[in-house]
Amino acid sequence: MTRAAAFFDLDKTIIAKSSTLAFSKPFQAGGLISRRAVLRSAYAQFVFLAGGADHDQMEKLRQFMSSLVAGWDVATVREIVAETLHHVVDPIVYDEAVSLIAEHSLAGRDVVIVSASGTEVVEPIGELLGADYVVASRLEVVDGKYTGEIDYYAFGKEKARAIEQLARDRGYDLTQCYGYSDSVTDVPMLAAVGFPHAVNPDKDLRKEAASRGWPVLVFVKPVALESRVPLPPAKQTLAALAVGGAFAVGGVLWTNARKKQRGVT
C-alpha cells in the first residue's frame, strides 16, 4: 500500500512568528542576554516578518544565535522559559494550519514538521499538534551547557535530503506527498514532493511558485494553541516547548511520542 505524508515548515507556516527569536525579552529579564542583543533580535524578527530571510540572512542569524547561547546553562534557560511560556506562545499558531494538519491526518497521511528551529521547540509543538514526526535542528550540549556549536542544521537543501531519507525509511511515495513553506530557501523541499504549496510566501518564493504553478495559501488567523489543542500539564514539557525557540540549531528527531505510547514503530 502506498504511503504519503504532508511536510510542514514551522515559522510563518504553522506559527505566526519566528520561533528562533520569540524568547529574547524573557531571556533578557532572566539575565541571559543584554538589551543590545534583544534589540538585534527584534531587528532580525522584523526582517524575517517583513520580507523573509534569504540564505545569507539566515546564515548571519544562525551565527548570531549560536554565539549568543554559548555557555548558557540549559536548566536555567528552561526555568525562565517555563515561567514566561504562555506570554510568548499565546497566540502563535495559525488556525488555518491546525485545520490543514487535521485534514491530512484524517486522510491517512503522516504529518511531518520540518524546521531549522531546534528540537526543543519543534518536538513539543509537533506532539501538541498531532504530528507523526519532526525533522529539526540541534545545538550541542556539554555538561549541561550550550557550547555554541551546531550538531545538525535542518536548512535549505538539507530539508530535502532529510525528507527523502524519511520517505525511504517510512515507504512514502513522494509524488503523492504534500509540502508547505513560506520561504524560498525551502524550494528544494517543496520541489521534492508531488503537491507543493507556498504559504504566506516571501517575494522570491511567490515568484518561484508562479513560475512552477504551485498553489499559494494565505494564513492570517493566529489562534491560541490551547484553544485548539490541549496543552500538557507537565512543567518540563512546557519548558522544552519554548527553549528551542531561542535559536535555530542542529539535529534530526524522527520519533513521535504518541506512537511510542501506542507501541508503533
**Angle in degrees, CA 213, 214, 217, rounded to 5:** 135
* Maximum CA extent, the chain: 55
Give me 175's grid cell.
Answer: 509524488
Computed from CA positions of residues 194, 167, 113, 191, in that sequence, does the dihedral angle turn out positive or negative? negative
C-alpha cell, 246: 531561542
**9 in catalytic set:** yes
Q: Amino acid identity, residue 21?
A: L
- Gap between the Cα atoms of 250 and 265, Å rounded: 24
Q: Report how far residue 12's alpha carbon sits from residue 32's, in angstroms, rounded to the nearest whole number.
A: 26
Q: Indicate which residue of 11, 182, 186, 202 is catalytic.
A: 11
**Angstrom distance (rounded) from CA 55 to CA 75:** 32
Q: Angle 235-243/74-89 helices, nearest 10 degrees?
A: 90
- Go through the chain and tell me how many residues it has: 265
**Dihedral, CA of residue 136, residue 235, residue 24 and residue 254, to nearest 10:** 0
Q: Is 11 a catalytic residue?
A: yes
Known catalytic residues are 9, 11
